[in-house]
Chains A and B, each alone.
Chain A
Amino acid sequence: MDDFLAARSQMALSLGFHIIFSCIGMVMPFFMAVAHYFWLRTQDITYKNVTRAWSKGVAIFFATGAVSGTVLSFELGLLWPRFMEHAGPIFGMPFSLEGTAFFIEAIALGFFLYGWDRFNPWFHWFTGVVVGISGLASGILVVAANAWMNSPAGFDYVNGQYLNIDPIAAMFNDAWLSQALHMTLAAFAATGFAVAGVHALMLRRGRNTGFHTRAFRIAAAFGAVAALLQPLSGDFSAKDVARRQPAKLAAMEAHFHTEKRAALVLGGLPNEDKQRVDYAIKIPGMLSFLAHGNFEQEVTGLDRIAPQNRPPVVVPHLAFQIMVGLGTLMMGIAAVYFLALWRKKQWLTSRWLLGLFVAATPAGFIAVEAGWTVTEVGRQPWIINGVMRTADAVTPMPGIAYSFYLFTAVYLSLSLVVVFLLYRQIRMVPQLYDVPAGTPEAAHA
């Protein structure tokens, strides 16, 4: 494997790994806060058990998120030193604020995880909320840094020099809002569906119904609301991409030729040599509408982009189809769920509805990975869109392939251990939390 490819793969692997843990770290505190709130309000011990059971799982995810994040802050330099040398001072603002957010999160987490029965219950509850808010803030900030790579702002690029740096303007770049919104919703949708799916599986097996029903309802409610909003925000993102990165839009839509009344290409296999898409369904005018809000408008194709500046097409296109497909599916499930809550209560306990959620367990996370693939691969060959090429940013150190193999092994084993631990947590639920509602705190030390 050549070093450049190895560096890109290692970056992709590390980010793809971290994003799963960071989504959970951002969202689970809110689920716990809701369950915790119900416990404090109703004194229904099952809610306390749900909160505690979740918090143990979350502690594992947090630690893994924290170490993988620490790795990332070094990896930016280890793999892309030339990029960081110039970009650091420009897009560093969100990172320096993020430091504060992480810190507050880590402090609040200490209070929350170890604070049971030590503090005023509402103070303890509040520390859990602070974990959530600061996690969300750090997610938004780091996405702002990524958005700057897509839509560089806050400096003048003159003869290879980066002049008139304005870190605040860099932070509030053009892509910031759409990406932060879409990412935040994605975190809620993905985590909500994953957690709901696990509890739905337990419900279908008829285990600890009281416990799993309460947990399922909280997760499903968050996930479903986010999944309904997600396509709207995705549309906003797509319009944004059309405006600021026409090459990326063309790649993800496999739109080779500039045309008016451009067709939306559903599915299909792009053929980059022949500049066409095989086996696709085409809806005339739809792409023009989705990208620019008007069925007639011209949409820039890859033919307008200089060949050396064209992104790959197959990967972003397929990834985009996967994301949108799963997004539509999740939106459908969410709609059914709300219908059930509103009109068809008997559906709520039916095996088929739970089965839908079980089937959708990994959907959100697959969509997250796919979406980031669109964003990152679609930006190629640029690391800073239009300013610096990825190939010029890579470290001069040879042998990166070995470091990539090493990280692959590490992340693979970590994933296995995390899954193993999670499995054990879930298996312990009957022993730890199986108390008939109402008995005093039999289950907790």
Chain B
Amino acid sequence: MDYVVIAYLYLAILLYLLLGGADFGAGIIELFTSRHNRRVTHETLYQAIGPIWEANHMWLIIAIVILFVGFPRIYSVMSVSLHIPLLLLLLGIIARGTAFVFRHYDAVHDRMQSVYATIFVYSSLVTPLFIGIIAGSALAGYVDPAAPDFLSAYVWSWLHWFGVAVGVFTVALCGYLASVYTIGEATTEADRLRFIRKTRLLIVVAFAAGALVFVAARYEGLPLARWIFGNLVGLTAIGLATISLGLLWYVLARGLTWLPRVLAGFQVTMILLAVGYAHFPSFIRLRNGPHLSLLEQLAPARTIEALGWALLLGSLFILPALGYLYYSFQHVSRPPSPEPEAALPGARTL
């Protein structure tokens, strides 16, 4: 059961990055879209994402529950040492989730819409930035439960160039995932071409951000290249990711819906695999060498047994239902408008 629970932990993190990430990306793209095209971009994305956004974010909760039930010490060390970025992450999650729903369910469409939109796009940027910073901090080795002073215990644990670089990279990946996703949802040829251009641009940005991670790692003295490329699995994974990126570039303009999405998802999976494999079973590197290892920090056997069964049985219900949800709401580019729109007399409709 130990490995079942660990597999689910990684699965939840991966799916959160893919699905929740695309969701954050939607806001990021909106932020970097000219005023003129914003409305189309926003509508295309939200017709697609509206029905599924809550489900996409459940993966974060699953990952957290697995951590605190199955690996309580890891959860508690993270909660203490990374308190501040976690707090900022939470503020981002609150702002984003509520702004998303408010803008759609406000009965009156008036100037408030632009307030919600502003909150939404900026929190879509900040939230994955902190997810990346937290992930980077798990690898960077500045987390120190025995730190003597406030700054090294609670600030330098996460505020370092490597963390920031991973944060920026995460933001770029989210934008990239979302833009690949949108291509298949475009309703007019002009929009489709615009989304394709955007995707190409984001591929370049993600590449640059990825390079930045290596530069930052070097600067912080982390042998990132050796970790990732120093073993066959990492090397293969990154190789496959690169090949599929070339393939993606090639098929982008072909008017396909699913192949680009699958390829983009595959690339992110491979990146996570390469990093995860290099570190397994370590989950958090502590200052001066020691690790919090997933295999050593497991909860007692009875708990892991129960947790494993709960996850297995839960997936029996969840996965088919989730699959049917995605299936039902794909290609909803021109749905019957989900809610009758209305404006108060005199209110300005955006």
- Give every chain B residue within 8 A of A95 (Cβ-Cβ): 65, 68-69
A104 at the A/B interface (Cβ < 8 Å)?
Answer: yes
User: Among A78, A165, A443, which residue has its beta carbon within 8 angstroms of that of B87?
Assistant: A78
Q: Kindly state the separation between the CA atoms of A414 and B335 in the bound complex, as whole angstroms.
A: 30
Q: Kindly state the separation between the CA atoms of A417 and B341 in the bound complex, as whole angstroms.
A: 20
Is there an interface contact between A395 and B80, defined as CB atoms closer than 8 Å? yes
Contact with A along B61-100 (1 / 0, CB 8 A): 1101110111011011111100100110111011001101
- Give every chain B residue within 8 A of A428 (Cβ-Cβ): 107-108, 342, 344
B318 at the A/B interface (Cβ < 8 Å)?
Answer: yes
- Tell me if B's interface is mostly helix, strand, loop or mixed: helix
A398 at the A/B interface (Cβ < 8 Å)?
Answer: yes
Q: Which of B169-177, B210-218, B226-234, B320-328 contacts A (4 or more CB under 8 A)?
A: B320-328
Closest partner residue, chain A, to B298 (CB atom): A89
Is there an interface contact between B311 and A96, defined as CB atoms closer than 8 Å? yes
Q: Which of A59-67, A244-252, A325-333, A368-376 contacts B (4 or more CB under 8 A)?
A: A59-67
Q: Kindly state the separation between the CA atoms of A340 and B269 in the bound complex, as whole angstroms.
A: 63
Q: Kindly state the separation between the CA atoms of A88 and B339 in the bound complex, as whole angstroms.
A: 42
Q: Most chain-B CB neighbours within 10 Å: which of A95, A100, A102, A119? A: A100
B60 at the A/B interface (Cβ < 8 Å)?
Answer: yes
User: Among B78, B102, B336, B339, which residue has its beta carbon within 8 angstroms of that of A60?
Assistant: B102
Is there an interface contact between A96 and B65, defined as CB atoms closer than 8 Å? yes
B161 at the A/B interface (Cβ < 8 Å)?
Answer: no
- Tell me if A's interface is mostly helix, strand, loop or mixed: helix
A116 at the A/B interface (Cβ < 8 Å)?
Answer: yes
Is there an interface contact between A90 and B303, defined as CB atoms closer than 8 Å? yes
Q: Kindly state the separation between the CA atoms of A419 and B335 in the bound complex, as whole angstroms.
A: 30
Q: Kindly state the separation between the CA atoms of A428 and B106 in the bound complex, as whole angstroms.
A: 10
Q: Which of A68-76, A205-213, A312-320 contacts B (4 or more CB under 8 A)?
A: A68-76
Is there an interface contact between A414 and B98, defined as CB atoms closer than 8 Å? yes
Partner-A contacts on B (CB < 8 A): 50-52, 54-55, 57-58, 60-62, 64-66, 68-70, 72-73, 75-80, 83, 86-87, 89-91, 93-94, 97-98, 100-102, 104-108, 150, 153-154, 299-300, 302-303, 306-307, 310-311, 313-314, 317-318, 321-322, 325, 328-329, 335-342, 344
Partner-B contacts on A (CB < 8 A): 52, 56, 59-60, 62-64, 66-71, 73-78, 81-82, 84-90, 92-93, 95-100, 102-104, 106-111, 113-119, 165-168, 395-398, 403, 406, 410, 414, 417, 421, 424-425, 427-428, 431-432, 443-445
Given contacts A93-B307, A107-B55, A110-B52, 8 further A-B contacts (CB under 8 A): A77-B78, A96-B65, A99-B310, A104-B317, A110-B329, A167-B306, A397-B80, A425-B107
Q: Which 7 pairs from chain A and chain B are nearest by CB?
A: A92-B69, A77-B79, A100-B314, A89-B299, A63-B101, A88-B72, A110-B51
What would 28 A/B residue contacts be, using CB atoms closer than 8 Å? A56-B105, A56-B339, A59-B101, A63-B101, A66-B97, A69-B61, A73-B64, A78-B87, A82-B76, A87-B72, A89-B72, A92-B68, A92-B299, A93-B303, A96-B66, A100-B310, A103-B317, A104-B321, A110-B329, A111-B328, A114-B50, A114-B329, A116-B338, A166-B302, A403-B87, A428-B108, A445-B337, A445-B341
